[in-house]
Each structure stands twice: as structure tokens, then as C-alpha cells.
């Protein structure tokens, strides 16, 4: 069932009228795609275009809290230069649409995970600009004064890096409760990489806003240029070490020789290399890059262990086997990428 069928738009329209938003019926409703697990619905009302976002119906407990966190960070971003979809309003009454939801402005942009327009596909110079502009957005996130925008209590930066490896190692070990999972031996190198991360953890960092899942499918690009239009999907945002976001971007940046990527993006020539992304980020932020390898390797490690969870569930018959096998393959490629970086 798509969002247009699952959500009673007449109730949404009535709620918008009561809230003082543009009046009139909802029309031209269309589901938005791009990989998000949330329900995304764009529609017109009162001469304006809106996007409704809410957790999937029958989602796990805590969806309301996740929505509240995303609404809070979007509200804070209005006081920054971070490109994002402006928050319009939020509704916490599940009787309106089946769950808490919020409305954003509609962004005139595209997601490369869905497809690349002819202009961008035909010009490597524009694709290079696309790579540089995603780093510029990441630098803008890292510059946010989280205290000044009332996000001082949005996360727990004290001991943030010290908690990371052990947290994901514990989750990985917990997969042993799934019958049929081959265990840690199915991910060669995971223990060695984990020990390296423990031994080489950066001594400190400057706390700041983190997106939490920063990669090329979580941004929208402008149709007429290589500039970034908005960073999307803020549900995992927190206050921590912004360099973790950089590591995540690098770990998921498409590469050669079977390297992991979050999306098949063609053509790829013209996009900057990982080394160029690092140099651009350093020039924009002035941050110390001496530990950047740790953040790259950590991102590979964390994402590999997250993906392995689906494989473990698939082994126990609790997730589609084909999906589990595919994500297990991605986990292997991520760890292999980390090992190549360490060897280099």
C-alpha cells in the first residue's frame, strides 16, 4: 500500500486548515522514492507544494520519538546555512494520519539514487561540482553552533568516541541468538579491525551536530547545476563528532575494484576522489585531518556490522534470504575496503 492509500488526506487537509496553513483541498499527491524507510508524500494545497513525512504504519516502538527528534533538528537548522527542507508544521495526533508526522517545504531537486538527469549525466564537470558541493554541505553541518540553536542537550558528546566501537561490537555479538547465523567467522577481519580502532582512537574532538547517515543518497541536487539543494533524512542526527559524518561519506563513496557503495551511480567519471573530498573538507573547516583514516575505517566497521544484522535475521528466517545475502556481501566489501585503507 502506498502512502496515498494509507493516509486519509481529507483528515490531513482538515488539520492543516485548523492549523492556519493554506486552505483548500489536497491535490496531486504522489509518493516520493529514494530508499527512505519513512512514508513520504508530496502534494499541493492552497497553491503551495508540501512534503509529508512520517514513520511507516505499524513501525517499531519509538517512531514518535524519532519524529520528534527530526522535527527538532529541522527547526534548529532554520537558523543556520545548512541546505535543508524548511520545516512547516508537525502533528503529534496519530488520529490524523495514523502516526505522528510533519510537513516540509518541497525541494526542487533530484536524488542520484533514483537517476541522474541528462545535464548531469552528460557533463563530468557538473559531476565534479556535485562531489564538492556535498562536502560543502557537510562542512556547513559541522559549523553549526549546536548550543546557539538550542541543541545543547540533543546528544551525549562526552565519551562519544569511547563508546562507539564497543557499542557496535556488542550488537554484532548479539547476533549469535539467531539460529543458522555462521557467526563472526563469516566476516573475516572484523576482530582485527575492531582492535585497530580501539588502539588508534583519536584522543579528542570538537563536539558538533552530526547528520548520522551522511551519504550521496541522502542529499538532493539542483536540476540546473551541480549544486546541492538540500540534505535530507535527519532522523539519526545527534550531537557528537562531526568527523564521523565525513568518515561515513568516504566509506560509502563509490569506488573501483568492487568497493562498497550505497547506490549504483552512472556515469561516475568526473566525481572527485575520496582524497579530494578530504582535502576540500579540510580547507573548508580547518579541522585536523591526521586521524581521518580512523573515521573512514570506523564507518566501514559500523556499517558492516549493521548490515550483518539483516543477514543474521535472514539466516533465522526472520528476513528475506536474498536481501540478507546481498547485505552480507556488502558487509564483506566494506571490511575489505577498510583493510585496503589500513594496508595503504
Could you tell me the CATH number of the domain that includes residue 166? 3.90.1200.10
pTM score over 0.85: yes
**319 and 178 share one domain:** yes
Q: How far is CA 78 from the centre of its chain?
A: 19
Q: What is the pLDDT of residues 237-296, one digit of tens each?
A: 999 999 999 999 999 998 655 466 666 788 999 999 999 999 999 999 999 999 999 999
Asked, for residue 111, whether it belongs to a domain, the answer is no
Give Cβ neighbours of residue 136 (< 8 Å, ≥ 6 apart): 228, 280, 284
Q: What is the pLDDT of residues 118-127, one digit of tens each?
A: 999 999 999 9
**125 and 93 share one domain:** no
Show which of 79, 105, 131 is a domain's final residue. 105
Residue 29 to residue 76: CA distance in whole angstroms = 28
**185 and 215 share one domain:** yes
Asked, for residue 113, whether it belongs to a domain, the answer is no
Range of the domain at 230: 118-343
- How many folded domains does the chain comprise? 2
Residue 334 to residue 168: CA distance in whole angstroms = 15
**59 and 125 share one domain:** no
Question: What CATH number corresponds to the domain at position 86?
Answer: 3.30.200.20
Residue 177 to residue 315: CA distance in whole angstroms = 11
pLDDT of residue 254: 87
pLDDT of residue 262: 61
**189 and 48 share one domain:** no
pLDDT of residue 91: 96
pLDDT of residue 32: 86
292: left (phi over 0), alpha (psi -120 to 50) or beta: alpha
Asked, for residue 152, whether it belongs to a domain, the answer is yes
pLDDT of residue 56: 75
Residue 247 to residue 80: CA distance in whole angstroms = 23
Three cell numbers written together for 26: 489536497
**79 and 143 share one domain:** no
Average pLDDT, the chain: 92
Task: Enumerate residue ranges in the chain where pLDDT < 50.
Answer: 3, 60, 258
Amino acid at each position: 500500500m502506498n502512502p496515498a492509500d494509507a493516509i486519509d488526506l481529507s483528515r490531513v487537509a482538515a488539520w492543516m486548515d485548523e492549523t492556519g496553513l493554506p486552505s483548500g483541498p489536497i491535490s496531486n499527491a504522489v509518493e516520493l522514492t529514494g530508499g527512505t524507510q519513512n512514508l513520504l508524500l508530496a502534494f499541493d494545497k492552497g497553491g503551495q507544494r508540501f512534503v509529508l513525512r512520517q514513520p511507516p504504519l505499524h513501525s517499531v516502538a519509538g517512531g514518535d520519538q524519532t519524529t520528534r527528534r527530526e522535527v527538532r533538528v529541522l527547526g534548529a537548522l532554520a537558523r543556520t546555512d545548512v541546505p535543508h527542507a524548511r520545516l512547516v508544521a508537525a502533528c503529534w495526533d496519530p488520529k490524523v494520519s495514523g502516526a505522528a508526522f510533519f510537513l516540509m517545504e518541497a525541494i526542487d531537486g533530484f536524488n542520484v539514487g533514483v537517476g541522474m538527469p541528462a545535464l548531469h549525466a552528460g557533463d563530468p564537470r557538473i559531476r565534479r561540482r556535485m562531489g564538492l558541493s556535498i562536502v560543502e554541505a557537510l562542512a556547513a553541518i559541522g559549523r553549526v553552533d549546536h548550543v546557539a540553536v538550542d541543541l545543547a542537550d540533543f546528544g551525549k558528546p562526552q565519551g562519544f568516541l569511547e563508546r562507539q566501537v564497543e557499542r557496535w561490537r556488542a550488537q554484532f555479538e548479539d547476533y549469535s541468538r539467531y539460529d543458522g547465523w555462521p557467526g563472526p567467522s563469516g566476516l573475516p577481519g572484523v576482530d582485527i579491525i575492531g582492535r585497530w580502532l580501539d588502539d588508534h582512537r583519536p584522543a579528542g574532538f570538537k563536539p558538533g551536530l552530526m547528520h548520522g547517515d551522511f551519504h550521496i543518497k541522502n542529499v538532493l541536487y539542483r536540476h540546473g547545476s551541480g549544486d546541492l539543494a538540500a540534505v535530507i533524512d535527519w532522523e539519526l542526527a545527534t550531537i557528537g563528532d562531526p568527523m564521523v559524518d565525513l568518515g561515513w561519506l568516504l566509506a560509502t563513496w563509490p569506488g573501483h575494484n568492487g568497493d562498497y557503495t550505497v547506490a549504483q551511480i552512472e556515469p561516475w567519471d568526473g566525481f572527485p576522489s575520496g582524497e579530494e573530498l578530504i582535502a576540500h573538507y579540510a580547507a573548508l573547516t580547518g579541522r585536523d585531518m591526521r586521524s581521518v583514516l580512523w573515521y573512514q575505517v570506523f564507518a566501514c566497521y559500523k556499517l558492516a556490522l549493521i548490515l550483518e544484522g539483516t543477514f543474521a535475521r535472514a539466516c533465522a528466517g526472520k528476513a528475506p534470504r536474498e536481501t540478507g545475502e546481498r547485505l552480507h556481501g556488502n558487509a564483506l566489501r566494506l571490511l575489505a575496503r577498510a583493510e585496503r585503507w589500513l594496508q595503504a
